[in-house]
Amino acid sequence: MKALIKKDKLQHYLATLKFALYCITHPLDGFWDLTHEKRGSYAAANTILIITLIMRLVKLRYTSFIIQAVYWEEINMVLYMASVLFPLALFVIGNWALTTLFDGKGRLGQVYMATCYCFTPYPLLQLPLTIMSNFVTVDEAEFYSVISGLSLVWCAILIIAAMGQIHEYSAGKNILFMVASLFAMLVMVFILMLFFSMISQGIAYFISLGRELLFRL
């Protein structure tokens, strides 16, 4: 019985993962079904996100120097990963916080899941591109940059389509709220910076207070 459930779960996971391929080619249909028909899963979303992160590292390491020369001395792995995760977190929270006030039907988890599903074209296109980059000359590098740009554009279109579907927005409202989400991200960055600078000043105050005390005693 236990084994059966496990097998069932695995099959569900694989099915939801495979559904990503349907989503990227049929975004409107796919992202509707993703939440409304429960054809997506958090496990699959996390998998896609992790694959995307790994792909970023693979791309960094194995792309030919003709296309991308890496100054290894200044690469920070954690920051490099954060360059994907941080905007993702900002977008998901910002988008949900806004849309939930304006009739958005998507929940926080659903926004996260859909956004992760939208990353699918990135590893799919970048892996063959990275391999290809090692077999091109400078003149042929144009192809690389075009396809590479295409993978990002594809992701962006998917995100826009996905948000429209899970919030059940019309096209115009959807675009409006995408732009609004970007502003929300900026506002959040601003508040975070403010927060950190206040905190650090607060801590510095207590440290200097402590020092003063130590001198006096």
Residues near another protein (CB under 8 A) are 65-66, 69, 71, 135, 137-139
Burial label, 120 (beta-carbon count in 10 A; 0-12, 13-18, 19+): buried
**What is the amino acid identity at position 5?**
I
Nearer to another protein, 37 or 73 (CB): 73
CB of 139 to another protein, least distance (A): 7
Report how many helices (DSSP H) and strands (DSSP E) the chain contains, helices first. 8, 0
CB of 70 to another protein, least distance (A): 10
Tokens standing for 124? 């799919």
Nearer to another protein, 65 or 206 (CB): 65
Q: Counting every residue, how long is the chain?
A: 217
Burial label, 210 (beta-carbon count in 10 A; 0-12, 13-18, 19+): exposed
CB of 72 to another protein, least distance (A): 11
DSSP code, position 73: G
- Taking residue 206's Cβ as centre, other Cβ atoms within 10 Å add up to 9
CB of 136 to another protein, least distance (A): 8
Nearer to another protein, 71 or 215 (CB): 71
Nearer to another protein, 71 or 206 (CB): 71
